[in-house]
Amino acid sequence: MDGFRIRELRANRGMTISELALATEVSAGLISQVERGRSDPSLETLRKISRALDVPLFELFEQEPEGGGVSVVRKDHQVRITSPTADITYSRHSAGNGQLEVLRGSLKPGGASSAEPWSHPSEECVVVIEGALVAEVQGKRYSLAEGDSCHFNSRLPHRLINEGNVMATFIIAATPPSY
């Protein structure tokens, strides 16, 4: 995570640290520490910051394309984030500069992608690679086994739950990016 990127996005919107803190319900001190690289924010704090700045979450980690409109994301240079509870980890497989976000997620047994279902302006498709997931979308539950997928409007409150005994691995494609 690049605190300078958050500072740049905030400044481009003419927001002060105090205004961003108020919009995110996070202390101005924490925002300042994040921007200076002195603190690593939680996934929930990053989501609040991305919403307040009206950018997809992974834009806080934006990478420039190599050239010619083609981006290659090497395995050892993928952006990774983990939730504060460490239930879920995401790595970004797309470059973060287009209209499509591709994420690989790992969700531990008994874990959930968020404490409560949440929404954001995009659509997404989740594909289970290993294990099993429950996609909870607008209060309905959809059981997904290895190889199954679920496509939905992300404006509907949603989250992923791992009710199994093994780590669940999955791919999410979202367009436009809005995590």
DSSP, residue by residue, 24-76? HTS-HHHHHHHHTTS-PPPHHHHHHHHHHHTS-GGGGG-----BTTB----GG
According to DSSP, residue 160 is labeled E
pTM exceeds cut of 0.85: no
- Domain positions in the chain: 3-55, 75-175
pLDDT for 69 equals 67
The third-level CATH classification (topology) of the domain covering 3-55 is 434 Repressor (Amino-terminal Domain) (1.10.260)
Show the low-confidence residues of the chain (pLDDT under 50). Answer: none
**Which tens digit of pLDDT belongs to each residue from 10-46?**
888 889 999 999 999 999 998 998 888 888 788 788 8
Calpha distance 142→140 (Å, rounded): 7
Model pLDDT, residue 12: 86
pLDDT at 179: 56
CATH of domain 75-175: 2.60.120.10
